[in-house]
């Protein structure tokens, strides 16, 4: 058996660079994200291009689904067809809700972070914001009906003060009510 000589150097473990370490730490979550979000999204896009008949989808590439969906839209130009109007209104409401929740959520978060000095009060006020989550989204949306309805508190209050003669119909079944309910539902997620 030969003895280790002075020229033999022990093998050292090489350290990974900080960048390689960061990539390796992000890898598991990236795989989960890819498997549970990107893969299903890609499958939905792929299936949307399949052909179809009256009762089944056929795995053959075809743009017929999109052409049938938007059929007649070009004939109605410069007016938008119903589908494009629906998309436009949806995107408009999404953007409006996002801007309002961002403004309200940022204001509340800024107040909690920089104006409330006591940690106890910060925690208490943050927990107070979570109270609406003790009920379901459906209940929270339906809870607006007694306030905004035809005989709701807002209409009764305005009629009692003499501001209006007849109930305001646009308070409940309108884009205003949709935006109000969605802002109420999603503001805490911005905080």
CA gap 64, 12 in Å, rounded? 62
pLDDT at position 13 over 60: no
φ/ψ bin of 68: left (φ > 0), alpha (ψ from -120 to 50), beta (otherwise) = alpha
For the ranges 1-15, 26-40, 130-144, 163-177, the one whose mean pLDDT is highest: 26-40
3-state secondary structure (DSSP) of residue 11 = coil
Q: How far apart are CA 180 and CA 172, in angstroms?
A: 10
When pLDDT is cut at 50, 70 and 90, the band that residue 50 belongs to is very high
Residues 44-50 have a mean pLDDT of 94
CB of 191 closer than 8 Å to CB of 108: yes
Instruction: Using the predicted structure, report yes or no on whether residue 5 has a pLDDT greater than 60.
Output: no
Is pLDDT above 80 for 15? no
Q: Tokens 């795989």 map to which residue?
A: 31
Q: What is the pLDDT of residue 8?
A: 59
Count Cα neighbours of 56 within 13 Å in the Cβ-side half-sphere: 3
The residue-averaged pLDDT of 128-153 equals: 88
Question: For the chain, where are the E strands, in sequence order?
Answer: 50-52, 57-61
Whether the predicted pLDDT of 178 surpasses 70: yes
What's the mean pLDDT in 70-83?
80
Mean pLDDT of 52-57: 88
Provide the pLDDT for residue 3.
Answer: 59
The predicted pLDDT at position 1 comes to 55
Structure tokens at 16: 């990974």
- Determine the pLDDT at residue 76: 74
Residue 62 corresponds to which tokens in the numbers above?
A: 């075809």
What's the rounded Cα separation, in Å, for the pair 67 and 58? 16
The Cα–Cα gap between 20 and 86 comes to: 46
Q: What is the pLDDT of residue 65?
A: 85
pLDDT at residue 120, as a whole number: 93
148 exposure class (CB count in 10 Å sphere: 0-12, 13-18, 19+): buried
CA 120 to chain centre: 30
Cis peptide before 176 (omega within 30 of 0): no
**Average pLDDT, integer, range 47-70:** 88
pLDDT given at position 10: 58
What values do phi and psi take at 108, rounded to 5? Answer: -65, -45
């Amino acid at each position: 058996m030969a003895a280790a000589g002075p020229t033999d150097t022990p093998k050292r473990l090489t350290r990974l660079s900080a960048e390689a370490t960061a990539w390796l730490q992000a890898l598991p979550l990236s795989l989960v994200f890819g498997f549970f979000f990107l893969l299903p999204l890609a499958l939905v896009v792929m299936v949307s291009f399949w052909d179809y008949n009256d009762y089944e989808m056929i795995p053959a590439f075809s743009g017929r689904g999109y052409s049938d969906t938007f059929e007649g839209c070009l004939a109605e130009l410069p007016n938008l067809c119903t589908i494009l109007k629906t998309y436009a209104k949806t995107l408009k409401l999404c953007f409006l809700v996002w801007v309002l929740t961002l403004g309200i959520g940022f204001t509340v978060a800024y107040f909690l972070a920089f104006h409330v000095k006591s940690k106890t009060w910060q925690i208490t006020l943050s927990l107070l914001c979570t109270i609406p989550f003790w009920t379901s989204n459906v209940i929270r949306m339906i809870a607006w009906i007694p306030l905004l309805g035809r005989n709701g508190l807002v209409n009764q209050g305005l009629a009692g003060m003499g501001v209006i003669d007849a109930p305001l119909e646009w308070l409940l079944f309108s884009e205003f009510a949709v935006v109000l309910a969605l802002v109420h539902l999603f503001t805490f997620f911005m905080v």
